[in-house]
Amino acid sequence: MEQRKKRVLGNWKMNLTSHEVRQLAEGMKEMPLADGVEVGVFPGFPYISMVKELLPQIRVGAQNFYPQENGAFTGEVSVLQIKDLGATMVLIGHSERRAIFNEDHLFLKKKVDASLNAGIKPVFCCGEPFEIRNTGGELSFVKQQLEDSLFHLSKPNLMKSVIAYEPVWAIGTGLTATTEQAEEMHRSIRGWISEKYDEETANGISILYGGSCNASNAKELFACPNVDGGLIGGASLKADTFQAIVNSF
């Protein structure tokens, strides 16, 4: 059973051409890895194999997939195809997929199951928009996301997963949850896992923070007892900035 790890994962989103990907990877090639910290990146589909080849020392994942192994789904990429490219993890439930592409709880549940069936680690994203936070409903909102899409898993499969809390109001806005806000949510998530499963499971799963996490605030966020690292967006597009975040433990 996989144990709780410190992790820093970079989501490159829909950025970078092949030349820019190669430049960024070259900048990351000699990046010293902190002891006990797992580092990974999520490039765009076309560059997964390239990044895997250029950066064999870190994990490489996919940003998305369609939860069928094959079939008449023109324009989609299957879980087996991302695995074939070398992806060992995948983002599921990112707020942009929920909001822009209308991926609901049931669809995300199917993606969680498909990724685990293919042997790919799901990085399950959860988080509340500003209007929910503003009315004090963030805990019940996030708990529902987890219950509907993740907490159907067996204990061994949940332990193969990573959870990333990303307050939607803090993604790409420059706003960041305070350490108190981040710790409260991470502590709550761990508590819900303990209630649903057991304390061993709750203490074994990594819960990451995402939402304008950068080199300036990472150290403070990562010092929170229940924050095990970060899912980094824009700050992962520069090798030196990403390195500074990795070194923030």
Q: So what CATH class is 6-29+57-246? A: alpha beta
pLDDT of residue 211: 87
Using alpha carbons, list the distances in angstroms from residue 93 to 22, 99, 103, 155, 197: 28, 10, 8, 20, 21
pLDDT tens per residue, range 125-152:
999 999 999 999 999 999 999 999 999 9
The residue length of the chain stands at 249
User: Could you confirm whether 166 is annotated as catalytic?
Assistant: yes
**Residue range 210-216: average pLDDT?**
91
pLDDT of residue 34: 82
3 — pLDDT class (breaks 50, 70, 90)? low
User: Could you confirm whether 220 is annotated as catalytic?
Assistant: no
Please give the structure tokens belonging to residue 194. 């303990």
pLDDT tens per residue, range 78-136:
999 999 999 999 999 999 999 999 999 999 999 999 999 999 999 999 999 999 999 99
The amino acid occupying position 85 is: L
Nearest CA to 179 among 248, 105, 242, 240?
248
Residue 126 makes CB contacts below 8 A (sequence gap 6+) with 93, 142, 145, 146, 163, 164, 165, 166, 189
Q: Which of 138, 166, 183, 186 is an active site residue?
A: 166
3-state SS assignment for residue 160:
coil
pLDDT of residue 78: 98
Mean pLDDT of the chain: 95
Q: Which of 94, 96, 128, 186 is an active site residue?
A: 94
